[in-house]
Amino acid sequence: MTVRRFRAPDAPVLWALNNLPNVGATADPDAPLPLPPAQDPPAAFPDLADIPAGYLRAGGDFLVAERDGHLVGMGGIRPTGAGTAEVRRLRVHPAVRRQGIGRSLLAALEQRARDLGLHRMALDTADNQPEAVAFYRALGYDESGRESHPDWSWTLVYFTKPLNPE
């Protein structure tokens, strides 16, 4: 498996990856690889429509995980001020979850944040994604708050982690 920087031709497959289920227990070894490219970016995620503008030119980065020629993971960081990098769109293909890909992607994003002079990571997930909540906790992320709204069926869970210089 290789973690590398996003390239423009990756976008349609990343859009398809973003559209896969991510609620509840979602590991699925029978999910097909490769993913057929999506025709359009996901409307609810405008940052994925233009990754260079949303991440690279914003002072962050966007990485992909590639295995056997297939894109199997993605994630980005954007500086938010006060030395903090916000993690966004961390996704792993259901067929290869629980194989260390998410861990490798997040470690690479943390290193990239350090390289950019950032000293803290921040992210959020939802309580209807218990595997994601457990994943972040296992990697040293501390819960820093929760947010809910009457029209939501879930609660957002916020996490932070200090980045120690290497």
Residue 28, in any domain of the structure: no
- 43-76: per-residue pLDDT in tens? 999 999 999 999 999 999 999 999 999 999 999 9
Please indicate, yes or no, if residue 112 is contained in any of the structural domains: yes
Number of domains in the chain: 1
Distance separating alpha carbons of residues 50 and 48, to the nearest angstrom? 5
What is the average pLDDT score of the chain?
94
What is the pTM assigned to this prediction? Answer: 0.94
pLDDT at 23: 61
- Residue of 131, 72, 59 lying closest to 101 (CA atoms): 72
Average pLDDT over every residue of 148-159: 96
Q: Is residue 7 part of a domain?
A: yes
The per-residue DSSP string of the chain comes to -EEEE--GGGHHHHHHHHTS--SSS---TTS-SSPPPPSS--TT-GGGTTHIIIIITTT-EEEEEEETTEEEEEEEEEEEETTEEEEEEEEE-GGGTTSSHHHHHHHHHHHHHHHTT--EEEEEEETT-HHHHHHHHHTT-EEEEEE--TT-SS-EEEEEEEPPP-
Cis peptide before 150 (omega within 30 of 0): no
Using the predicted structure, report yes or no on whether residue 107 has a pLDDT greater than 90.
Answer: yes
CATH value at residue 140:
3.40.630.30
pLDDT at 25: 67
CA dihedral 11, 6, 9, 67 (to 10 degrees): -90
User: How far is it, in rounded angstroms, from Cα 129 to Cα 147?
Assistant: 15
User: What is the predicted pLDDT for the residue at 80?
Assistant: 96
Domain of 130? 2-21+34-162
pLDDT of residue 166: 64
Residues 13-36 pLDDT 10s: 999 999 887 766 677 888 888 889
Asked whether residue 26 is domain-assigned, the answer is no
